Amino acid sequence: MKRLLVALLWMSAAGLQAGDRIWSALVLATNENPPRPVPANLEDFAPTIRRVFGYNSLYLLGEKKRNLVTGAEEWLVPSKAFFFKVQVLGKKPTCYELQIELYRGQKLLVTSHTRLARDAPLYIRGPQWGGGQLVLLLEVQ
């Protein structure tokens, strides 16, 4: 009982809000005629991908979710080719300040200090592959 209490106190001190997670995905965006049905868990992202990147069809190649803990580093590996290291620098009621590193294999591609609000994801334009564009997604859920 005492251990449970300590764990709960630690979690609240660390700023963990129950249910806050960071979700990452690797998506292949293509143009097809007719456009293919959007996978259910990409429906929220499809309009933006269409508007910003110009593609009308999506394939989910991989996804990963992790808890968000202030100060902690998390590795999100939606695919073996592209993955993230995310460190939570700070937290406000509706957004997180994150240090994000994007890797391709062993190579660090990009480092970014980003404020990520809930329901306002980060879209990263990746390389061309398989007749389309790879797009990486990060979202606080």
Partner 1 sequence: MGELPDEAALVARARQGDTRAFDELITRHREKIYMHAYHMLRSEDDAVEIAQETFIRAWKSLSRFDGKAALSSWLYRIATNAVIDLCRRRRSHPEVEVDVGPMKVDPASQTTPHRGEVPGASVDRAEIRRRIEAALLQLSPEHRAVVVLKELEDLSYEEIAARVGCSLGTVMSRLHYARKHLQTLLRDLHEEL
Partner 2 sequence: MKNSDDREWEKTRNLLREHLTVPPLTNPDFINSRVLEAIEREERPRPAASGWSLRWLFWSGATALLMAGLLTAVLMPREFGLRSHDEFISQVISARAEMPQLSVTGFQVPDGRGVVLWMEGVDYIPAGEGVR
With CB under 8 A, what is the number of residues at the site for partner 1?
20
How far, CA to CA in Å, does 31 sit from each of 43, 46, 111?
Answer: 16, 12, 29
Window 49-78: contact mask with partner 1 (x via CB under 8 A) = ---xxxx---xxx-----------------
Is residue 23 a contact point for partner 1 (CB under 8 A)?
Answer: no
> Which residue in 12, 31, 111, 141 binds partner 1 (CB under 8 A)?
31
**Please, is 134 exposed, middle or buried when counting C-beta atoms within 10 Å of its C-beta (0-12, 13-18, 19+)?**
buried
Q: How far apart are the two ends of the chain, measured CA to CA in Å?
A: 30
Looking at beta carbons only, is 2 or 51 nearer to partner 1?
Answer: 51
Q: Are 62 and 81 in contact (CB under 8 A)?
A: no
Strand, coil or helix: 52: helix
User: Nearest distance from residue 104's CB to partner 1, in Å?
Assistant: 15
Looking at beta carbons only, is 54 or 90 nearer to partner 1?
Answer: 54
Q: Which residues bind partner 1 (CB under 8 A)?
A: 28, 30-33, 36-37, 39, 41, 52-55, 59-61, 128, 130-132
